[in-house]
Structure 1
Amino acid sequence: MSRNKTFDIDKAIENAMEVFWEKGYEGTSMQDLVDALGLSRSSIYETFGSKKDLYLVALDRYEDQSNDCLGSILYEKGPAKELLIRFFNKVIEHNMPKSCFMVNATLEMTAHPDVSGRAQSTTAKNERAFYQLLTRALTNGEIKGNPNLRALSQYLVNVKYGISVSAVTSDRQTLDNIVSMSLNFLR
């Protein structure tokens, strides 16, 4: 008969996420995880499977938290420019000073289909969120001209990822300038 787990699985995932986010997948040893989670190797393996399985669970947790923190802003009612400024301010706050865990994972683990698939799914969700906001903004006369909203949505995803990376080394004024220039298509 197996013993009941006597630790907080959510807390363990949070701790693993922090270690992977800081050190990357390759830079994280099992001993790092044992130390951070306060669990034995066997407990980690029994609960999560392999190191990579735990990494994927941590990446999924990060994505869920990012969606809760960021994604909902784009679906709120209000002027598009205000919503986008709030969204990008949250991106900056969320990623200073260590960049985006999903972007880091994508760069480090691009050859792994399970990681690149998650990154593609995240990109698609972001594009959909921007697209619906831009569609409303176009209808409300908040957008200059008649741009390709799909391409503009892809552009804003790229801005998000660029800000996530730039947040590591740039000062706040530089990041605010990037946001301001990126939103010039709005009235």
Structure 2
Amino acid sequence: MSRRKSFEIPKVLDLAIDVFWHKGYEGCSMQDLVEQLGLSRSSIYETFGSKEDLYLQALERYDLQSKQQLGSILYEQGSAKELLLRYFHEVIEYTGRRSCFMVNASLELAASHQKVYNLVKANMAENEEAFYQLLERAVQSGELKGTWDIKALAQYLVNVMHGITVTTVTADREMLDNIVRNSLYFLP
């Protein structure tokens, strides 16, 4: 007969996100996880599998949370410029001087770990699609004028987002706001 778990998996995953976000995958030991999650090794292994499995589940949860927190902004009604300014403001607040967990995963593991690569690639594609849809609406409303390659602009905005999250680690707010404003040069 199995014992009932006395912890909530989503809360534990949130704690794991913080640990991996702070230390990275390689820099995080199983002892770090035991201490920060407040669970025994056996509970971690029984519930999540390996350290790698826990990391992947934490990365998936982070992806879902960031989409709910940030991605929905891009689908709201309003001018593209206002929505993008608000979106990037929220990105800066959300990552808060520690870059983006997904970007960190990309830098640390995507080149050598297929599952992380797949998660990062899917995340980038979803972000690109959200930017693309917003830019399409801007073209239809007349806000975005000229002959722009909307797909290339959407890819550019994904890159801007990643760059901003990395820059949050060392830059002051004025610099970040300048980067955001200048990155939206194509919108009046």
User: TM above 0.5, one fold?
Assistant: yes
Instruction: Give the paired residue count.
Output: 187
The 2-side partners of 1:83 and 1:2 are apart by: 49
The 2-side partners of 1:73 and 1:11 are apart by: 25
Quote the residue 1:73 is aligned against. Answer: 73
Matched, 1:164 2:165: yes
Q: Kindly state the Cα deviation for residue 148 of structure 1 after the two structures are TM-superposed.
A: 0.2
Quote the residue 2:13 is aligned against. Answer: 13
Q: Kindly state the Cα deviation for residue 95 of structure 1 after the two structures are TM-superposed.
A: 1.2
Q: Kindly state the Cα deviation for residue 59 of structure 1 after the two structures are TM-superposed.
A: 0.4
Q: Kindly state the Cα deviation for residue 118 of structure 1 after the two structures are TM-superposed.
A: 0.4
Identical columns (%)? 61
The 2-side partners of 1:141 and 1:10 are apart by: 43
Residues 52-110 of structure 1: per-residue CA shift (max 9 Å, x gap): 00000110111111001110000000111100000000011111210000000111002
The 2-side partners of 1:130 and 1:63 are apart by: 16
The correspondence of residues 6-155 of structure 1 with structure 2, limited to 5 A, is 6-110=6-110, 111-155=112-156
Counterpart code for 1:79: S
Aligned-pair RMSD on alpha carbons? Answer: 0.7
Q: Which runs of 5+ in 1 are unaligned?
A: none
Q: Kindly state the Cα deviation for residue 144 of structure 1 after the two structures are TM-superposed.
A: 3.1
SS at match of 2:156: helix
SS at match of 1:147: coil
The 1-side partners of 2:152 and 2:98 are apart by: 28
SS at match of 1:97: coil
The 1-side partners of 2:17 and 2:147 are apart by: 42
Counterpart code for 1:32: D
Q: Kindly state the Cα deviation for residue 146 of structure 1 after the two structures are TM-superposed.
A: 1.4
TM-score norm. by structure 1 comes to 0.98
The 2-side partners of 1:178 and 1:63 are apart by: 24
The 1-side partners of 2:91 and 2:7 are apart by: 32
Q: Kindly state the Cα deviation for residue 133 of structure 1 after the two structures are TM-superposed.
A: 0.5
The 1-side partners of 2:187 and 2:20 are apart by: 38
Q: Kindly state the Cα deviation for residue 10 of structure 1 after the two structures are TM-superposed.
A: 1.4
SS at match of 2:20: helix
Q: Kindly state the Cα deviation for residue 9 of structure 1 after the two structures are TM-superposed.
A: 1.4
The 2-side partners of 1:67 and 1:11 are apart by: 18
Counterpart code for 2:151: R
Q: Kindly state the Cα deviation for residue 161 of structure 1 after the two structures are TM-superposed.
A: 0.3
The 2-side partners of 1:2 and 1:121 are apart by: 36
